[in-house]
Amino acid sequence: MPIVPGSRYTDSPTVQVRVRPRTRTVITPSPQQPQVVTFWWHQLSESDTLALLAAKNYGDPNAWWKIADANPEVLDWHLVPPGTLIRIPAAS
């Protein structure tokens, strides 16, 4: 399966791995580079979802992962109560 265009993995290096009886393409880990991320705080309301916030802030509901990545302390987005402050990264 190819990497979907627009994915955060689009430019990631890949290798071919033989898994009997087939060959599969896998993404290779790359060293993490220091990043400077500009973000703002958003207080969640009851109606907020990651997809809605991504659509509002990036014009793409499938970019929800940008918000999830900016908030690694959130393990289950279904359990985050309204009123919680989360980081919304600036669109790049």
Q: What is the pLDDT of residues 64-83, one digit of tens each?
A: 999 998 999 999 999 999 99
- pLDDT for 63 equals 93
Every domain of the chain and the residues it spans: 31-89
- pTM, full prediction: 0.63
Question: So what CATH class is 31-89?
Answer: alpha beta
Q: What is the 3-state secondary structure (H, E, C) of the chain?
A: CCCCCCCCCCCCCEEEEEECCEEEEEECCCCCCCCCCCEEEEECCCCCCHHHHHHHHHCCHHHHHHHHHCCCCCCCHHHCCCCCEEEEECCC
- pLDDT for 44 equals 97
Q: What is the pLDDT of residues 17-59, one digit of tens each?
A: 888 888 888 888 777 667 677 999 999 999 999 999 999 999 9
- pLDDT for 1 equals 57
